[in-house]
Amino acid sequence: MALIEVTNLVKDYKISVKKKGLLGAVSSLFIPEYTYKRAVDAIDFAIDSGEAVGFIGPNGAGKSTTVKMLTGILVPTAGAIRVSGLCPYKDRKKNAANIGVVFGQRTQLWWDLPASDTFDLLKYIYKIPDDVYRRNMELFNDLLGLQDFFATPVRQLSLGQRMRADIAASLVHDPNIVLFDEPTIGLDVIAKENIREFINYINKEKDTTILFTTHDMVDIEKTCRRMLIIDKGVIIYDGSVAEIKHRFGKTRTLVVEFSEKYSSIHLPPGVEVVNEQEHKKWLRFSKDEVQVSNLIAKLTQDYNIIDLTVQEPEIEGIIREIYQKGIDFDKENEKQLSGIEVASGLSTD
């Protein structure tokens, strides 16, 4: 069952045109001129209950605008949105009771008060029953360690502590849907991993639906099974993370450690040395052109080898290449693949 349904969604921004000079400024007061910018251009997608979906794209692609329409903050220019059966901008209070929102660069905590005061206020606002509130706070204490800083004023918290408290505050009322916007931005490696594990827990154990907007592709790879890519207001990819790695991660790297230092080695066509260090060489090849088993067999036959490692392409590198070069499919490939609609035409922002 689709918990979020977006149909032919459009959002245009009306932008005032500023004329040059004093006369232009006076003219603009009496005869204002406007231009329109389309931030979201007739997009369609649906997210089922319990799904964890990454929503990515370059800056200015339309991610934040879409998320704001899902929360009811912005009203669409055209099209329809249903979130848990509600129209977000018409039923803002009911919609707010069903969703949680985490903004990595903003906080919903009271800055000069202890974090505990914010949670007391949220309990009152959402009318959370005592047993539900107590159960959730025990969970947050166990998984996020809130008790370590719960009585500390928010302004004295570290970024990682504040993010943990913000995430808990967004989940204290047991929302069906949580929208994450850069929740790990600026955090260290350990803090990021802790937050990812918590997101995975609430998605799997509480069946919470997740929409995850971020520029950190590791966040997406470790928390989401499905990915939406938006560019210039258009959804250009809607499919699994595994599918995009399979279709666009064509290159592999074989890291070879030799028993001695070879100034050069004989390689089959399609294989190139991209890096070398002491006794190690990094060999890059296309999986469609070179069989890794054949390459390994040839190297072990011709040279004394200590160790071999095959490196898969990282999702971050794949997405970066898509942003830079675009997704190109011929007409034969522009079709549904395993029930996944893939669109073409990405260009850089």
Which tens digit of pLDDT belongs to each residue from 299-321?
888 888 888 888 877 777 777 77
Q: Check residue 218 and report its DSSP letter.
A: H
Check pLDDT > 80 for residue 220: yes
Q: Determine the average pLDDT of the residues in 240-267.
A: 83
Percentage of the chain beyond pLDDT 70 is 93
User: Looking at the predicted structure, is the pLDDT value of residue 339 above 60?
Assistant: no
Work out the pLDDT band at 215, boundaries 50, 70, 90: confident
Residues of the chain with CATH 3.40.50.300: 50-245
User: Higher pLDDT residue, 344 or 6?
Assistant: 6
Residue 328 in this model has a pLDDT that exceeds 70:
no
At 176 the three-state DSSP class reads coil
Q: Which residue has the higher pLDDT, 316 or 196?
A: 196
Within 10 angstroms of residue 180's Cβ, the number of other Cβ atoms is 26
- Of the candidates 48, 62, 86, 60, the one whose C-alpha atom is nearest the C-alpha of residue 9 is 62
Report pLDDT for 82.
94
Residues of the chain with CATH 3.30.70.250: 250-312
Inform me whether the pLDDT recorded for 75 exceeds 90.
Answer: yes
Residue 10: the pLDDT is 94
Residues 6+ apart with CB under 8 A from 73: none
Tell which CATH architecture fits domain 50-245. Answer: 3-Layer(aba) Sandwich (3.40)
Which pLDDT score, from 0 to 100, does residue 344 have? 33
Task: Report the pLDDT value the prediction gives residue 331, as an integer from 0 to 100.
Answer: 34
Average pLDDT over residues 154-162: 89
Model confidence over 264-310: pLDDT tens digits? 888 888 888 888 888 888 888 888 788 888 888 888 888 888 888 88
Written as one letter, the residue type at 30 is F
340 pairs with which residues across the strands?
337
pTM of the model: 0.75
For the structural domain made of 250-312, what CATH number should be given? 3.30.70.250
**pLDDT over threshold 70, residue 340:** no
Q: How confident is the model at residue 52 (pLDDT cuts 50, 70, 90)?
A: very high
Predicted pLDDT at 21: 78
On the question of pLDDT at 184 being above 60, the answer is yes
- The sign of the CA dihedral 123, 129, 134, 139 is negative
- Cα dist from 13 to 68, 79, 166, whole Å: 13, 15, 30
